[in-house]
């Protein structure tokens, strides 16, 4: 029996419309790709030089070495290192642009108000003397520190890591020799290390992969979040809705898709300002909604509703009600322009490294952000007049959600219970077993599995067993759409212990209802927020983060970025579940290193399980084992 394409009712409603409208979707193209290449799936194919491609016969009936002599272990490990470096490159590049924006803001070229508390917090972490310095001076010092990592020509470790990582972890990484220096240099070195005639030692390659995880964690995720918080503000709780039902028939619907909030926030701002123009064009106003992580970013800071996650990006257009979809970087399907050509929808690309034939390109630069945003909003307004009402179908599905749970927001809520030691009420409840543990679910949708199913089934099982779940990325979208980010979700799905804690927290926060069982902590770069929370708890308890009853999961990962985020979670000592098998099974040795061997030296490991309930059991078992080691009741 074929598994369903999605559990999202909005998706199931739109798929028949897509075929009626003659739209090809990601699921059609997936089918057209069957059967997918077995060599590629196992990671045993190499095209790193022009003597290749070489592929190793996984059944030992054919060649066991590449032309150069590379073994299957070498090839698999090399491929993985490249993928993880690719993910790290995306995040470091993202962070870099944020740093450039902060530099211009500090020099008053760009107008941002700058988050005072975050400035102080980051300065102190970096050992910057804050006395007598105003916001702009502090921002400039922080920019200098960020650039110093990126321009480091020596062997000095990444400062962002040294300032923010758990101390016990730093020792572990130091002993393994995997503390990264300049992030750009490490990514370059990974490319070099994996080119023809270089490293053939799978252990060395796996350690280099772990190093890329650290590059990703600190020079990508953490740096990007810190700087974006300074520029745009640290999120506080917001209440809105999720799923395609947030689109409005009589409004100009403008969708923000991608990852970087710099332009997105400008669009949110200008959409408010230009409402009158939309009204003049016959609409009732402008409705903005978000897809993927750009959606998470504007949700967290501006309470913008979520439209949908990765796999349904094309179907958003199939509603016929999206007037414009503006994209920046990452996770943008090149098919969008083709889908949009069946409707009136404008696809607007904005970045010099993301252009799509058939889309309109409106260049966004840090300096022209306001202009570009106005132009984009006006394009959406104009497109509204070209709608074909016969083609409009907005699925009537949306769920109420609460989001905006930055670490600051969580600590803020806890402070109302214990102003002196805000982490105490949380930790006490972990110790007494009301909260069994914490799991961060992160990452994507993947067309190989039923959309959202693994996220939702896994998390329902975890919260039922009193595990507090924090989520980011498309996982957060999935859980939001499934009603796991509101108070009813706590009533319906949380175990008694967890429910009691969430109710108490809700009361402390002045709410009539419990907090949701899943706390939305933001975009994929905001996984750094989960890292910060884990680091804070470890510091409070004075234990290594590897010992905490905390785990991570990327139930439906697709992107290289998810692999690098997962690798970082492993370096923090967390058991990191993957619900889709990464292309490493071709090498038994590499697979064992990732799922077993690493845990001896680093504490964390990958755990691959494609069944959500079994995965929940596995994670619960892991959490219980960690509790036992700490002498806690399980």
Annotated binding site for [4Fe-4S] cluster: 37, 45-46, 49, 54, 68
In sequence order, the 6+-apart residues with CB closer than 8 A to the CB of 434 are 466, 497, 498, 500, 501
- Segment near ligand XCC (CB under 6 A), from 319-327, 388-396, 554-562, 614-622? 554-562
List the structure tokens of 475: 């996982």
- Residue 70: which of ligand SF4, ligand XCC, none does it interact with, CB under 5 to 8 A by kind? ligand SF4
Question: Which region, judged by CB under 6 A, interacts with ligand XCC, from 12-20, 46-54, 387-395, 556-564?
Answer: 556-564
- Residue 342 contact partner, candidates ligand XCC, ligand SF4, none, CB within 5 to 8 A by sort of partner: none
Alpha-helical runs (H) found in 56-115: 72-106
Reduced to 3 states (helix: H, G, I; strand: E, B; else coil), residue 235 is: coil
Instruction: Report the residue from 331, 372, 498, 546 that binds ligand XCC according to the rule CB under 6 A.
Output: 331
CA distance 264 to 291: 11
Q: Which is nearer to ligand SF4, 5 or 48 (CB)?
A: 48
**Of residues 404, 443, 497, 612, which one binds ligand XCC by CB under 6 A?**
443
Binding test (CB under 6 A) with ligand XCC, winner from 395, 473, 579, 612: 473
Nearest to 544 by CA among 204, 108, 173, 103: 173
Stretch that binds ligand XCC, among 492-500, 553-561, 584-592, 611-619 (CB under 6 A): 553-561
CA atoms within a 13 Å half-sphere pointing along the CA-CB vector of 204: 9
Distance CA 135, CA 276 (A): 35
CB 515 within 8 A of CB 506: yes
Closest CB 634 distance from ligand XCC, rounded Å: 31
Which CB atom, from 6 or from 194, has the smaller least distance to ligand SF4?
194
Q: Is 196 left (phi over 0), alpha (psi -120 to 50) or beta?
A: beta
Instruction: At 223, list the tokens.
Output: 């740096």
Out of 256, 304, 474, 572, the only residue in the binding site for ligand XCC (CB under 6 A) is 474
Least distance (Å) between residue 259 CB and ligand XCC: 6
Stretch that binds ligand XCC, among 2-10, 273-281, 346-354, 557-565 (CB under 6 A): 557-565
From the list ligand XCC, ligand SF4, none, which binds 119 (C-beta under 5 to 8 Å, kind-based)?
none
Binding site for ligand SF4 (CB under 6 A): 46-49, 51-54, 66-68, 70, 196
Rounded-to-integer distance, Cα 604 and Cα 445, Å: 24
Pick between residue 52 and residue 495 the one whose CB is nearest to ligand SF4: 52
The DSSP letter of residue 577 is E
Q: Which amino acids are annotated as binding site, given as ranges?
A: 37, 45-46, 49, 54, 68, 259, 293, 331, 444, 474, 524
| Residues β-bridged to residue 71 | 65
The minimum distance between CB 83 and ligand SF4, in angstroms, equals: 15
52 binds, among ligand SF4, ligand XCC, none (CB under 5 to 8 A by kind): ligand SF4
Instruction: Give the C-alpha separation, 559 to 189, whole Å.
Output: 21
* Paired residues of 401 in beta bridges: 240
- Annotated binding-site residue numbers for [Ni-4Fe-4S] cluster: 259, 293, 331, 444, 474, 524
Q: Judged by CB under 6 A, does residue 562 bind ligand XCC?
A: yes
By C-beta, is 69 or 419 nearer to ligand SF4? Answer: 69
Angle (CA) 102 186 230, round 5°: 15
Task: Name the closest residue to ligand XCC (Cβ).
Answer: 444
Any contact of residue 92 with ligand XCC (CB under 6 A)?
no
- How near is the Cβ of 82 to ligand SF4 at its closest, in Å? 12
In angstroms, what CA-CA distances link 314 with 159, 369, 394, 409, 560? 41, 26, 14, 34, 21
Residues 6+ apart with CB under 8 A from 388: 320, 343, 344
Nearer to ligand XCC, 220 or 443 (CB): 443
Residue among 37 and 130 whose Cβ is closer to ligand SF4: 37
**What x/- string results for residues 301 through 330 when contact with ligand XCC is judged by CB under 6 A?**
---------x--------------------
Q: For ligand XCC, which is the closer residue by CB, 158 or 562?
A: 562
Please name which of 538, 425, 518 lies closest in space to residue 477, comparing C-alpha atoms.
518
Phi, psi at residue 617, to the nearest 5°?
Answer: -60, -45
Smaller CB separation from ligand XCC, 406 or 446: 446
The answer to whether 336 and 356 have CB atoms below 8 angstroms apart is: yes
Q: How far apart are CA 460 and CA 465, in angstroms?
A: 9
Contact of residue 9 among ligand SF4, ligand XCC, none (CB under 5-8 Å per partner type): none
**Spatial CA neighbour of 323 closest among 282, 265, 363:** 282
Count of beta carbons in the 10 Å neighbourhood of residue 62: 9
- Report the partner that residue 444 touches, choosing among ligand XCC, ligand SF4, none (CB closer than 5 to 8 A by kind): ligand XCC
| Residues 296 and 523: beta-carbon distance below 8 Å | yes
Residue closer to ligand SF4 by CB (options 85, 106) is 85
Q: Supply the minimum distance, in Å, between the C-beta of residue 584 and ligand SF4.
A: 16
Alpha carbon distance 127, 169 (integer Å): 20
Q: Is 518 in the site for ligand XCC (CB under 6 A)?
A: no
**Of 49 and 543, which has the nearer Cβ to ligand SF4?**
49
DSSP per residue, 100-135: HHHHHHHTTSS-----HHHHHHHHHHHT---TT--H
Q: How far apart are CA 400 and CA 327, in angstroms?
A: 25
Residue number, 63 or 363, with CB nearest to ligand SF4: 63
Residues that bind ligand XCC (CB under 6 A): 259, 292-293, 310, 331, 443-444, 473-474, 524, 558-559, 561-562
């Amino acid at each position: 029996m074929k598994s369903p394409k999605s559990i999202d009712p909005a998706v199931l409603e739109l798929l028949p419309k897509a075929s009626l409208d003659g739209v090809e979707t990601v699921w059609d193209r997936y089918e057209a790709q069957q059967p997918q290449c077995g060599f590629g799936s196992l990671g045993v194919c190499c095209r790193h030089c022009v003597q290749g491609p070489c592929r190793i016969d996984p059944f030992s009936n054919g060649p066991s070495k590449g032309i150069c002599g590379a073994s299957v272990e070498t090839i698999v490990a090399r491929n993985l290192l490249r993928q993880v470096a690719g993910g790290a490159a995306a995040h470091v590049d993202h962070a870099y642009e944020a740093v450039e924006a902060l530099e211009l803001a500090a020099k008053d070229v760009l107008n941002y108000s700058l988050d005072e508390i975050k400035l102080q917090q980051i300065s102190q972490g970096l050992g910057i003397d804050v006395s007598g310095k105003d916001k702009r001076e502090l921002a400039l010092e922080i920019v200098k520190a960020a650039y110093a990592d990126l321009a480091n020509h020596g062997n000095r470790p990444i400062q962002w890591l040294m300032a923010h990582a758990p101390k016990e972890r730093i020792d572990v990484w130091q002993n393994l020799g995997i503390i990264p220096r300049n992030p750009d240099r490490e990514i370059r070195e990974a490319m070099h290390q994996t080119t023809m005639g270089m490293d053939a030692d799978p252990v060395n390659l796996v350690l280099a992969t772990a190093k890329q995880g650290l590059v990703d964690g600190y020079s990508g995720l953490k740096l990007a979040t810190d700087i974006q918080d300074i520029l745009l503000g640290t999120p506080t709780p917001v209440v809105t809705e999720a799923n395609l039902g947030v689109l409005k028939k009589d409004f100009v619907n403008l969708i923000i898709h991608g990852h970087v909030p710099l332009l997105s926030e400008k669009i949110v701002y200008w959409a408010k300002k230009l409402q009158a123009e939309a009204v003049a064009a016959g609409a009732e106003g402008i409705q903005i909604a978000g897809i993927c992580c750009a959606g998470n970013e504007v949700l967290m800071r501006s309470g913008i509703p979520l439209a949908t996650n990765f796999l349904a990006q094309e179907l958003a257009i199939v509603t016929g009600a999206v007037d414009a979809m503006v994209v920046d970087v990452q996770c943008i399907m090149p098919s969008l322009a083709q889908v949009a050509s069946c409707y009136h929808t404008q696809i607007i690309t904005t970045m010099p490294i993301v252009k799509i034939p058939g889309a309109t390109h409106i260049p966004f630069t840090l300096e022209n952000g306001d202009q570009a945003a106005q132009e984009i909003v006006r394009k959406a307004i104009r497109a509204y007049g070209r709608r074909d009402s016969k083609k409009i179908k907005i699925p009537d599905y949306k769920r109420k959600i609460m989001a905006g749970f930055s670490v600051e927001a969580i600590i803020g809520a806890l402070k109302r219970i214990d102003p002196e030691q805000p982490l105490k009420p949380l930790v006490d409840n972990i110790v007494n077993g009301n909260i069994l543990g914490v799991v961060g679910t992160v990452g994507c949708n993947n067309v190989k599995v039923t959309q959202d199913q693994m996220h939702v089934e896994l998390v329902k099982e975890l919260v039922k067993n009193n595990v507090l779940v924090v989520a980011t990325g498309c996982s957060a979208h999935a859980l939001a759409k499934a009603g796991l980010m509101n108070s009813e979700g706590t009533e319906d799905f949380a175990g008694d212990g967890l429910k009691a804690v969430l109710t108490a927290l809700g009361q402390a926060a002045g709410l009539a209802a419990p907090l949701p069982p899943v706390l939305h902590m933001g975009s994929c770069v905001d996984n750094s927020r989960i890292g910060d929370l884990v680091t804070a708890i470890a510091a409070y308890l004075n234990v290594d983060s590897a010992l905490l009853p905390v785990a991570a999961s990327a139930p439906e990962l697709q992107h290289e970025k998810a692999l690098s985020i997962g690798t970082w979670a492993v370096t923090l000592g967390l058991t990191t579940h993957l619900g889709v098998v990464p292309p490493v099974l071709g090498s038994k040795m590499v697979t064992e290193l990732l799922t077993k061997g690493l845990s001896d030296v680093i504490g964390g490991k990958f755990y691959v399980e494609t069944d959500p309930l079994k995965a929940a059991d596995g994670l619960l078992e892991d959490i219980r084992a960690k509790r036992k080691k700490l002498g806690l009741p399980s």
